[in-house]
């Protein structure tokens, strides 16, 4: 279902146009013109300026694939991995001089965005990597392209992805390179990704897709982005951005961050900026435990991985280049029923049992609501049924209508995806109850320490003797030490109390004990 959803989304390319003319296509509700009389907090200010913002959690080490999958992917939560990018040689070696001296830099062509504030209508430019290095500090441009092959050995695969099943699902690895000052659009991605920062800083704002999918809609689904001006948010045109709660993260050189599937986000870069993000499809059939993953302590570079975008077409066998958009696919499914008309109930049954994209979906109240909304959109004659006249009119409907209908169907698909995730988690938890506690695998730490040979260390005699004691002996010694500490502490307190009794007014007070117990 994941691949189907990704490629259905890709198939929307070229179908939708920019929607203007005073109608809100992003807020999820109609705009009351009177709203303009009293500016909303944050109106015409940078994105999130007046919004409540939570901080994205920070881990000091990479978790294991299993922990990452259960606690962050299945939970759909962003997380920062502090110093995670420092494991890659790129962190130390990617100076402009080093990059420019590599022979392949002269022959490798890259795509360059021609404006630092992202504009999807702005043309890109193709140039040699060396040419970009010579001009990027002074031009209003930045590189965004697949990580060149000659640099792939410098970037390690993030340890949470070092699992046989996940490695097969890495789709692409993209390099972002600028002199700073870039600003992305508010957008989301149809795959998960881990973004590692090798130089500069990044500030990222997030919106939880599941929480706000009914409130805020991206008005360019063909590119999964919103046309809202991130420097000057029009709260009248985009009412869906009122009353939302953002997550925020600030990355420093050497940090990595996990960006969950579909979470809307906006990124600003500060200073000379180089980052690499790894796109991967998290739809594993099983939770990636050590038994399933194989060796998870392998130090693999991107050069060791065959990327999904470079695999034979069989990797995306569900994809058809000319796949129909969702509204056409739905009409085709309805017509295959060979009924003269459809009631709301008939329509819902077709969605539940016949529409390919929703295979396996467990119907909920939210699904009912979305089905009713989709039916209401398609019932153009407003007579409570879908018939030949409605289907005839559908052919002439504009891009606003098609966006609205397709967004309902994509939301239904996402509900199915969330149900699959929860079912995997349930099965995993049941399985874990049957396993001993020792089954839990340790986290992969940022700083790896080689095992030490105790005999090679120059201990003092007493220390060496203590190291070689049995666990039982150590435990007894520990208890004795604790008992002695308590005894010494009690003696010290008694001595102090005796002193105060003997000299109660030494500090000029009347002998009242001013000590505070903490």
For residues 252 and 364, state if they share a domain: no
φ and ψ of 368, to 5 deg: -60, -45
Q: Is residue 101 part of a domain?
A: yes
Nearest to 195, CA basis, from 277, 269, 267: 277
Q: What distance in Å separates the CA atoms of residue 197 and residue 216, rounded to the nearest whole number? A: 29
For residues 58 and 168, state if they share a domain: yes
Q: What distance in Å separates the CA atoms of residue 307 and residue 40, rounded to the nearest whole number? A: 46
Q: Is residue 506 part of a domain?
A: no
Q: Is residue 398 part of a domain?
A: yes
State both tokens at 418.
């969330």
Percent helix, strand, coil in the chain, to 5, is 40, 15, 45
Q: What distance in Å separates the CA atoms of residue 272 and residue 136, rounded to the nearest whole number? A: 10
Q: What distance in Å separates the CA atoms of residue 513 and residue 282, rounded to the nearest whole number? A: 63
The enclosing H or E element of 389 equals helix 388-394
Q: What distance in Å separates the CA atoms of residue 285 and residue 418, rounded to the nearest whole number? A: 14
Q: Kindly provide the residue ranges of all beta strands, DSSP E only, lying in 260-389, ordered along the sequence.
A: 264-280
Q: What's residue 214's pLDDT?
A: 83
* Among 433, 468, 487, residue at a domain's last position: 433
The enclosing H or E element of 111 equals strand 109-113
Q: Is residue 481 part of a domain?
A: no
Q: Is residue 20 part of a domain?
A: no
Q: What distance in Å separates the CA atoms of residue 166 and residue 284, rounded to the nearest whole number? A: 7
Q: List the alpha helices (DSSP H) in 158-265.
A: 164-167, 209-212
For residues 177 and 233, state if they share a domain: yes
State both tokens at 252.
């420093």
* Among 375, 398, 433, residue at a domain's last position: 433
For residues 304 and 337, state if they share a domain: no
DSSP assigned state of 183 = B
DSSP assigned state of 70 = I
Domain membership of residue 345 as a residue range: 326-433
Tell me which residue has tokens 């002193």: 499
Asked if residue 148 lies in contact with residue 106, where contact means CB atoms within 8 angstroms, the answer is: no
Q: How many CA atoms lie within 13 A of 1 on its CB side?
A: 19
Q: Is residue 396 part of a domain?
A: yes
- Encode pLDDT of 23-50 as tens digits: 334 444 444 444 445 578 999 999 999 9
Tell me which residue has tokens 């699992």: 163
For residues 359 and 298, state if they share a domain: no
* Among 316, 341, 368, residue at a domain's last position: 316
Averaged over successive runs of 10 residues, the pLDDT of the chain (518 residues) comes to 42 36 39 55 94 95 93 93 97 97 97 91 92 96 96 97 91 96 93 96 95 85 86 94 96 98 95 97 79 83 85 38 63 84 91 85 90 92 91 83 83 84 78 60 41 37 43 54 63 54 42 32
Q: Is residue 77 part of a domain?
A: yes
Q: What's residue 24's pLDDT?
A: 37
**Whole-structure pTM over 0.85, yes or no?**
no
Query: Which CATH number do you get for residue 386?
Result: 1.10.238
Work out whether strand 109-113 and strand 79-81 pair parallel, antiparallel, or are unpaired. unpaired
- Encode pLDDT of 253-298 as tens digits: 999 999 998 899 999 999 999 999 999 987 777 788 888 888 877 8
For residues 291 and 361, state if they share a domain: no
Q: What's residue 492's pLDDT?
A: 63
The enclosing H or E element of 419 equals helix 399-433
Q: What distance in Å separates the CA atoms of residue 199 and residue 251, rounded to the nearest whole number? A: 10
φ and ψ of 392, to 5 deg: -65, -45
For residues 195 and 289, state if they share a domain: yes
For residues 66 and 208, state if they share a domain: yes
Q: How many domains does the chain have?
A: 2
For residues 143 and 250, state if they share a domain: yes
Query: Which CATH number do you get for residue 163?
Result: 2.60.120.650
SS3 (DSSP) at 73: helix
Q: Is residue 291 part of a domain?
A: yes
Q: What distance in Å separates the CA atoms of residue 323 and residue 321, rounded to the nearest whole number? A: 6
In sequence order, the 6+-apart residues with CB closer than 8 A to the CB of 470 are none
For residues 352 and 218, state if they share a domain: no
Q: What's residue 409's pLDDT?
A: 86
Nearest to 303, CA basis, from 147, 143, 104: 147
For residues 312 and 330, state if they share a domain: no
Burial 285-311 (b: 16+ CB within 10 A, else e): eebbbbebbeebeeeebbeebebbeee
For residues 411 and 301, state if they share a domain: no
């Amino acid at each position: 279902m994941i691949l189907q959803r990704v490629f259905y989304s890709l198939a929307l390319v070229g179908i939708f146009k920019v929607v203007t003319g005073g109608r809100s296509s992003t807020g999820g509700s109609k705009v009351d013109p009177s709203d303009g009389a009293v500016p909303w907090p944050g109106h015409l200010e940078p994105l999130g300026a007046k919004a409540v913002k939570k901080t994205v959690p920070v881990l000091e080490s990479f978790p294991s694939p299993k922990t990452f999958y259960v606690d962050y992917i299945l939970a759909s939560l962003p997380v920062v991995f502090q110093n995670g990018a420092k494991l890659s040689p790129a962190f130390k070696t990617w100076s402009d001089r080093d990059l420019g001296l590599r022979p392949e830099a002269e022959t490798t062509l890259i795509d360059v965005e021609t404006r630092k504030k992202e504009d999807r209508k702005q043309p890109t430019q193709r140039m040699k990597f060396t040419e970009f290095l010579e001009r990027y500090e002074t031009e209003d441009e930045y590189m965004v392209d697949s990580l060149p092959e000659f640099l792939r050995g410098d970037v390690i695969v993030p340890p949470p992805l070092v699992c046989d099943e996940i490695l097969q699902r890495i789709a692409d690895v993209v390099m972002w390179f600028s002199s700073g000052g870039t600003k992305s659009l508010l957008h989301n991605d149809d795959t998960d990704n881990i973004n590692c920062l090798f130089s500069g800083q990044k500030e990222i704002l997030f919106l939880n897709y599941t929480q706000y999918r009914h409130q805020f809609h991206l008005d360019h689904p063909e590119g999964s982005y919103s046309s809202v001006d991130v420097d000057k948010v029009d709260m009248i045109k985009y009412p869906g951005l009122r009353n939302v709660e953002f997550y925020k993260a600030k990355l420093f050189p050497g940090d990595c961050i996990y960006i969950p599937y579909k979470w809307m986000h906006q990124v600003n870069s500060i200073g000379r900026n180089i980052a690499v993000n790894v796109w991967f499809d998290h739809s594993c059939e099983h939770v990636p435990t050590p038994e399933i993953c194989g060796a998870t302590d392998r130090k693999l570079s991107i050069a060791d991985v065959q990327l999904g975008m470079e695999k034979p077409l069989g990797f995306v066998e569900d994809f058809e280049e000319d796949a129909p958009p969702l509204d056409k696919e739905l009409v085709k499914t309805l017509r295959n029923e060979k009924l003269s008309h459809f009631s709301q109930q008939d329509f819902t049954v077709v969605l539940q049992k016949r529409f390919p994209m929703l295979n396996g979906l467990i119907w909920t109240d939210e699904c009912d609501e979305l089905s009713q909304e989709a039916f209401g959109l398609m019932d153009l004659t407003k007579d409570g049924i879908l018939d030949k006249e409605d289907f005839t009119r559908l052919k002439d409907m504009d891009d606003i209508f098609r966006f609205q209908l397709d967004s309902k169907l994509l939301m239904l698909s996402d509900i199915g995806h969330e149900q699959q995730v929860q079912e995997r988690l349930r099965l995993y938890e049941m399985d874990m109850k049957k396993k001993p506690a020792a089954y839990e695998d340790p986290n992969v730490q940022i700083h790896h320490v080689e095992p030490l040979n105790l005999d090679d260390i120059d201990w003092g005699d007493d220390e060496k003797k203590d190291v070689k004691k049995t666990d039982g002996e150590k435990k007894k010694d520990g208890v004795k030490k604790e008992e002695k500490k308590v005894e010494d502490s009690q003696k010290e307190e008694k001595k102090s109390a005796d002193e105060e009794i003997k000299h109660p007014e030494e500090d000029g007070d009347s002998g009242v004990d001013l000590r505070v117990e903490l």
